[in-house]
Structure 1
Amino acid sequence: MSDYWKARGKTYQTSNRYYQKKSTPHGVCVSSIPPPPLGKLIQSLNKDDLDKDAKDFTDKASIQDCSLVTSYNWLDKSDPTILIPGTPPRWTPLPGETKLAQDSNDHFRDKNASKYPSHPMESTVLAALSHDPNLPAELDIVACYSSLGNLVRFVLGKDKSFRILVQAVGSTVFFVRRENSPTEKLEDIKGHGHTFPEAYTTWDAEMKGSAHSHRILKYNFGGLRMLVRAEADAYVAEKDDGAPAQPLGRSTSAESKNPSALRSTTTADVADLSQLISTLTSTNHPSPPTSKPATKITVTTTTNPPTRQVPQPQILEIKTRVIWKKDKEDTVYEEMPKLWLAQISRLVVAYHDKGVFGTDSAEIEVQDVRPRVERWER
């Protein structure tokens, strides 16, 4: 990893309601790391400017023809290692009441960047090309849901600063998330947005040793062919999945961990890919200096037969809230950008009373959010 980033990678605090796993006061954004220098100002764009252009827009502002390309898990190793295909942890709710500790500060703001700071999107490209080597010729935009979510909030008039590097390779444009440092950690975390999923989900045997899971979707939006990466919190096992089906908890409508299970790893020959991605760096946004060449990403596969891809309707987004917010906040609306961009149809909202989950008042709700997402999109 770059010595430059090691010297600067401290902590970061965010108030973004879109990232409720990191509970901080609304309207406060604090970073102990100064942002990288900006390049030359090319053009200023206001939200009102978009309203004028929208009158001439003829395509539908809706996500169409969505399909899962592939998935991958980052393994909990010191060297960058991904497992293709990957699976998020299975939803395994605990019976009765459970008291959990609050979150700690041991969580990175950008998980992909923290694993591979040189090129945070390289794992996405590797996984996608492993599925379909001809995929790049079909794409207009490659991005993560976080970058696209920032653009959605800008269009919605939300006041939050963000930075995205826009880089072109041939006819494909990459939207690359850019934080002040790829190793920024979340500061002064309060809540249970991490400890709850750790307690209420379980990695399948083939996925033991995983740190987190990501899915790569392909869909059309506004006439553009897009490849979108999104982290997956969990999945619900169905009866024919080979894993025991788990109770969903209180179901409502939104309208009202064994490394030996893996084959020996093989190092992917990504020299050409690394060279290609290195050309993405704009002269206005130089990469931080490095003292040695970046370590290649190692690709690991599961034992035969290959891991079955979890269908998109089984993916869960998990959020936790203190009980007094139950009647004061619309959690579905707050999470709408992620639910829409990642095409997630199930949302778990887990309420707690001073860290105690699963009580009669602090229940765990599993909501079918598809109707609201579809209505919001229109």
Structure 2
Amino acid sequence: MSKQRHSNAVNLACSGNTEYLNAIGGRSGKAPPFKKRNGQAKPDLGKSPLGELLTTIGEEDCSASLRDLPSDAGITACKYIASYSWLNEKEPTIIVPGKPPLWTPLQAPKRLSVDTGQYFRDPNAARFPRYPIEPAVQAIFESHQAFPTEDIDVFACGSTMGHLLRFVRAVDKPFRFSVQVIGNTVFFVRKENDPREIIPDIRGYSHTFPDEYTTWEADVKGSDTHQRLIQYEFGGSKCLMRFECEGYIDKLAAKDKAKSNSVAPGDNDIFQSFKATSVSQKASNVQDSLVIKTSGSEIPQSSIFDLKTRSHQYKASVDMTDFYPVLWLEQIPNFIIAYHDGAGLFHDIRVQDIRHSVREWETDNEAARRRLAVLLRRIVEAVRADPRGLLEVYSPCKDRLEIRKQVGDGVETLPPVLKARWEEGTTFAVSGDEEPCAMSAEETRSGLEEPDSEDDDGEKDFTACSAETCGYCGRCSY
């Protein structure tokens, strides 16, 4: 089976879907792969002007309200909700539940080619620019006969929540995103300068490495990116979080499957939801030409990982605490860091159970977490109070966040039919057998390395990876 993970979508040049081809680069030649990449561009206010200013929030505003919060604003009650993978098809197509690529390390190292090509910042917007949140919502409804939408306060992603976490940690990176209230839920919608915006100056091996060391399995062959949705409680809010999953480790998934198989029929065990769900693909057209197919299988949260590559010459300067915020937000328990010799040969690849270190980061950053909880509450209250329920969050600098009206009629988050379905909600609860997030399991797992933990609030900008320059790879998850 080919291990190529990020297709350049040239097969789409033979299709007749002109609108979709234009959206991804189409007949002009090599289209950028649909892979999430960091490297935040400054918001272009000339191309997309700001609306009327409603209120501003500073660090002091978040700190002033801490007395209203519990002493510990941590993430609790975390569980898997749904997932989907984008396919390389002539129409925008997802498979539900899909599956992350499998970790399949090489038996012996080989020298890899340096990354080439162009890469989109936001694969969901590039694939489906009109309603980038729709695939996630469709995946939820495909996965649950009845989902209690009225219980969800915030629907966010690693990008939007990452922006807010950096803001309360005084990291100076301008950002903006849209917000809309639908039913009881406030949706945070990622907003780049253009849905098809690409990351400039990609260097290193952050694409060729996963091409060689992970594999899309037969039931999800043709996938390009895997998106995962979890639910948890944070600071008094129930949050849905969408993020891209880099892959999973089979032996860890098998361990949870063994636990599931050991449960007597009828027991309400948390692992029963992770049964094999691989089925034949069945296509159905839905709102605005999004196509949904059913294939793949649900993968336990305890087996997924995030992945970074670095040049070996910068190994001593790599601070693991730079990775912990995203691992905490997305509750990812495993971390793979791979060091190359500067010319594409990876001899030092570390697979780590990172949960204990992330919990230490969580403890050390209690003040920032509590400020984040206050900030979430302020944004939710503002958009719920707005007559249209359509606002925008904009931060021009590290000590100022603005809540503004959207310009003109605003941009709807979901198509009318799907919006109405979310607003209707349901009195039925999600079944209680979803797997809890792996951060709540045992602190370490034997056989995997545990990195040293450091108390450091500094946050570097990992925007490239090159032996000739900085050693960074541009794979920061938010």
What is the TM-score of this pair, normalised by structure 2? Answer: 0.61
Deviations 1:66-96 (A, max 9, x none): 1001110010123111000111100001122
Counterpart residue number, 1:327: 316
Report the Cα distance in structure 1 between the residues aligned to 2:356 and 2:316, rounded to whole angstroms.
Answer: 21
Q: One-letter code of the match for 2:209? A: F
Matched, 1:78 2:78: no
Deviations 1:193-227 (A, max 9, x none): 11111111001110101010011001111111111
Report the Cα distance in structure 1 between the residues aligned to 2:252 and 2:188, rounded to whole angstroms.
Answer: 38
Kindly report the root-mean-square deviation, in angstroms, between the aligned alpha carbons of the 2 structures.
2.7
Deviations 1:125-147 (A, max 9, x none): 11112222333122111011111
Contact kept, 8 Å, 1:143 with 1:227, in 2: the verdict is: yes
Contact kept, 8 Å, 1:141 with 1:175, in 2: the verdict is: yes
119, 130, 136: which is aligned to 2:131? Answer: 119
Matched, 1:315 2:328: no
Report the Cα distance in structure 1 between the residues aligned to 2:51 and 2:253, rounded to whole angstroms.
Answer: 53
Structure 1 residue 308: Cα displacement:
3.1
Contact kept, 8 Å, 1:105 with 1:186, in 2: the verdict is: no
Q: One-letter code of the match for 2:109? A: E
**Within 5 Å, which residues of 2 pair with 1:193-208?**
193-208=206-221
Counterpart residue number, 1:156: 169
The structure with the largest helix share of the pair is 2
Deviations 1:202-256 (A, max 9, x none): 01110101010011001111111111101000100028749xxxxxxxxxxxxxx
350, 361, 370: which is aligned to 1:365? Answer: 350
Counterpart residue number, 2:339: 351
Counterpart residue number, 1:145: 158
Matched, 1:220 2:220: no
Query: Counterpart of 1:146 in 2: which secondary structure?
Result: helix
Percent of aligned pairs with the same residue?
A: 36
The verdict on how the C-alpha distance between 1:350 and 1:4 changes in structure 2, with shifts beyond 3 A counting, is closer
Contact kept, 8 Å, 2:97 with 2:143, in 1: the verdict is: no
Structure 1 residue 2: Cα displacement:
9.4
Report the Cα distance in structure 1 between the residues aligned to 2:50 and 2:44, rounded to whole angstroms.
Answer: 18
Contact kept, 8 Å, 2:114 with 2:344, in 1: the verdict is: no
The verdict on how the C-alpha distance between 1:81 and 1:5 changes in structure 2, with shifts beyond 3 A counting, is closer
The verdict on how the C-alpha distance between 1:6 and 1:342 changes in structure 2, with shifts beyond 3 A counting, is closer
Q: One-letter code of the match for 2:360? A: R
The verdict on how the C-alpha distance between 1:53 and 1:3 changes in structure 2, with shifts beyond 3 A counting, is farther
Structure 1 residue 58: Cα displacement:
2.2
Q: One-letter code of the match for 1:263? A: Q
Counterpart residue number, 2:281: 263
Query: Counterpart of 1:317 in 2: which secondary structure?
Result: strand
Counterpart residue number, 1:249: none
Structure 1 residue 34: Cα displacement:
5.4
Structure 1 residue 105: Cα displacement:
3.2
Counterpart residue number, 1:253: none
Counterpart residue number, 1:338: 326
Contact kept, 8 Å, 1:96 with 1:358, in 2: the verdict is: no
Q: What count of residue pairs does the alignment treat as equivalent?
A: 312
Query: Counterpart of 1:167 in 2: which secondary structure?
Result: strand
Structure 1 residue 48: Cα displacement:
2.2
Report the Cα distance in structure 2 between the residues aligned to 1:134 and 1:160, rounded to whole angstroms.
Answer: 36
The verdict on how the C-alpha distance between 1:237 and 1:4 changes in structure 2, with shifts beyond 3 A counting, is closer
Runs of 4+ in 1 over 6 A off after TM superposition: 2-7, 30-33
Report the Cα distance in structure 1 between the residues aligned to 2:114 and 2:57, rounded to whole angstroms.
Answer: 40
**Within 5 Å, which residues of 2 pair with 1:24-63?**
29=41, 35-58=47-70, 60-63=72-75
Report the Cα distance in structure 2 between the residues aligned to 1:96 and 1:191, rounded to whole angstroms.
Answer: 20
Matched, 1:187 2:200: yes
Report the Cα distance in structure 1 between the residues aligned to 2:187 and 2:130, rounded to whole angstroms.
Answer: 15
Q: One-letter code of the match for 1:334? A: D
Structure 1 residue 4: Cα displacement:
11
Deviates more, 1:34-43 or 1:116-125: 34-43
